[in-house]
Amino acid sequence: MDLSNRFFPAILSLALGGGLAATASAGEADAAVKTASVAVDAAQVGQPISKYVYGQFIEHLGRCIYGGIWAEMLQDRKFFLPIGDKESPWKAVGDAAAVTMDGDRPFVGRHTPKVTLSGKAPGGLFQEGLGLRKGMNYTGYVWLAGDPEVGPVSVRLIWGDGPEGRATVTVEKVTSKYTRVPLNFIAGADTDQARLEIVAPGKGVLKIGTLSLMPSDNVQGMRADTLERLKKLDAPVYRWPGGNFVSGYNWRDGVGPRDRRPPRKNPAWPGLEHNDFGLDEFMTFCRYLKTEPYIAVNSGLGEVESALAELQYANGGPGTPEGKHRAENGHPEPYGVKFWGIGNEMYGDWQLGHMPLEKYVEKHNRFAKALKTEDPSIMLVAVGAVGPWDEGMMRRCADRMDLISEHFYCNDKPDLIEHVNLIPQQVRRITEAHRGYRSNFPELKGKDIRIALDEWNYWYSEYLYGDLGSRYFQKDALGIAAGLHEIFRNSDLYFMANYAQTVNVIGAIKTNKTAAVTETTGLVLQLYRRHFGTLPLKTAVAPPYNAAAALSADKITLTLAVVNPTLDALRLPLKVTGATPAGGGSRWQIAGRPMDYNEPGKPSRVKIEESKVDDTNTLCVAPCSVTLFSLPLR
């Protein structure tokens, strides 16, 4: 049966719903289907596509980690902000004047909340706006100390009115020594406005060191719903911890017992750094996802000694000073981190520790020499930026790098085709510059310094998911796919590409308090990672369409991906030379209207839809879509 006979009515219906006339005559319907042939030459094979071009980047910014990956529900759980501060999520129960911040031997950080009770009325703290799911178990703990006379301390999770709208853990007596009290609640309702209270009725002083509350399905402190989507994304590498953040980050703040790690003001972005997710947690994250870590060191305000210690903490044996430190923190075996970035965007005056190129090349070389001496097996990624910065780094640091980073972000264009083309245009710009460097710089002779596209994405829409929490649309998915195609066409140059930033912050996954969803752009990355081939082939299609083809590693399957940035359905006659399709195959499409999007907690509007291919001579492509075909070869 000819697939087009049964498939085109469906995609034509989608086309009509995507901005064309709501009703159409038979003649007008025919006009909504275009034809453009695609040619694939299986005899012209490029260098293998690196798996690392499907990488990701996470930074301590907005709700990427805290509120996205990390499962902690409480904000400012270590009380960096004084109670009563307008930015603090904590409020006093009862007399606000009874709550002060005690800086004398604080439990963690610079001060600890102290509640002075008069015996006349209960007092304590509360935080509201917590998200609960009915029937879910929530677990945690609180560190308490104080006078025995404060009486029984009640820790309450409240989701409604009356006794049936709350669960309570009662601590009969506190002592002058901090004690860790476990918490366990079962939510009786779905809500985004639950409240946690810590209240005592007696007399004297009650101190609250820190506390924690997470859904019980958390995976070693990480959100199960986020991890479920990240596993499907299957990114082979994650870059961490930044980004601008890294230039002011002291990695030592993020290791050791979590409750004793000091909270800080985020050095580069709004908000706090809780220091609950540090190097060890990042490695746990990577091992759970079966992905490789890529750690950036602080070459902004940081110095070589700190970077060396961090490398030794990660990769040193238990007999080294930092390897021993890691073992004491519960991780006796070296992590074996291969990829290390020296800094981030040091060319920019927005970067902490920014300096002119003339000085930075010297700093880079100091870092690179020391790190390679400590561990010769690692791969170093240098800070790059097309133009004078790249030229200086290539000429003066070529012997001190394995890869060089590039970053770009694209805005918005009102025209659909122009919007989609923004991403591949930027990839081409970087490609052309690097081919020029290889041709013109004698310092690169005999070297193969490839590109790590450490950050790339669209960045333009309203922030709906915290700081920089942009929503992505179907039109953005098309651009990301077209960008991948351009990377595939230049597989000899691109070793790595890390989509920024994986969760919430201009990310491929979005979360609210109780749910997560894969964005349209994330669906593209997931689809290509799972099904696109590894040996790129010469492919031609007429604009405005964009196509890329590849053979599977065993050369028994041809994969073809097509971006249709129009509102017309597409008939695609396929011409393959150098190989013969066996007939039939599989087809995956991501299709929708240009402004369609997915939202956590709601049914997805945009999905990956799979179907069979009957006719391989003429393929069918929906309007405003990314379609991937897998065709067995004879």
DSSP for 25-40, written as a single string: -HHHHHHTEEE--EEE
∠304-307-311 over CA atoms, to 5°? 135
The DSSP bridge pattern shows strands 618-621 and 91-93 to be unpaired
| Amino acid identity for residue 596 in this structure | D
Q: How close are the terminal C-alpha atoms of the chain, in Å? A: 21
Structural domains in the chain plus CATH codes? 3-49+537-632 (2.60.40.1180), 55-71+235-530 (3.20.20.80), 91-215 (2.60.120.260)
pLDDT of residue 32: 86
Angstrom distance (rounded) from CA 440 to CA 444: 8
Q: Which two tokens stand for residue 141?
A: 């703990």
Starting from the edge strand earliest in sequence, which strands make up the sheet with 91-93, in order? Answer: 91-93, 123-132, 191-200, 153-158, 166-171
pLDDT of residue 155: 98
The DSSP bridge pattern shows strands 33-35 and 272-273 to be unpaired
pLDDT < 50 regions, the chain: 1-31
Angstrom distance (rounded) from CA 551 to CA 555: 5
Cis peptide before 241 (omega within 30 of 0): yes
Candidates 224, 406, 296, 353; CA nearest to 58 is 296
pLDDT of residue 37: 94
Q: Which two tokens stand for residue 582?
A: 């066996």
User: In this prediction, what percent of the chain has a pLDDT beyond 90?
Assistant: 95
Indicate the pTM of the whole model: 0.94
pLDDT of residue 19: 31
pLDDT of residue 13: 42
Residue 406 near residue 385 (C-beta atoms within 8 A): yes
Contacts of 445 (CB under 8 A, 6+ apart): none
Angstrom distance (rounded) from CA 425 to CA 576: 27
DSSP for 593-616, written as a single string: -TT----TTS--SS--EEEEE--S
pLDDT of residue 229: 98
pLDDT digits (tens, 9 = 90+) for 156-182: 999 999 999 999 999 999 999 999 999
Q: At what angle do helices 304-315 and 321-328 cross, to 10 degrees?
A: 60
